[in-house]
Amino acid sequence: MDEGKLKGVVGAVLELEPAAVGDGTSADTVEGWDSLKQMNLVIALEEAFGVTIPDEDVAGLTSYPVIRAVLREQLAA
């Protein structure tokens, strides 16, 4: 998985510089990370990486480390 691409997608949706996206990036630390941005993030990740994120994982994608782990899992499937 291209982590630079992942940071770019997350940064674009959350209006952050890709370099600012890292393990500390979460719904608790990013102002404006709300339910709408959450859904936009899921859609952007699915489109960028050609995966489908299961509905049961969507609500838990509230931090960069979790997003990275779920995406790796989906890419390996």
Query: From first to last of its 77 residues, what are the pLDDT tens digits of the chain?
Result: 899 999 999 999 999 999 999 999 999 999 999 999 999 999 999 999 999 999 999 999 999 999 999 999 999 98
Model's pTM, two decimal places? Answer: 0.93
Packing angle between helix 35-49 and helix 3-14, nearest 10 degrees? 150
Give me the pLDDT at residue 64, please.
97
What domains can you pick out in the chain, each with its CATH number? 3-76 (1.10.1200.10)
DSSP state of 26: B
- Give the tokens for residue 68: 């990275």
pLDDT of residue 77: 87
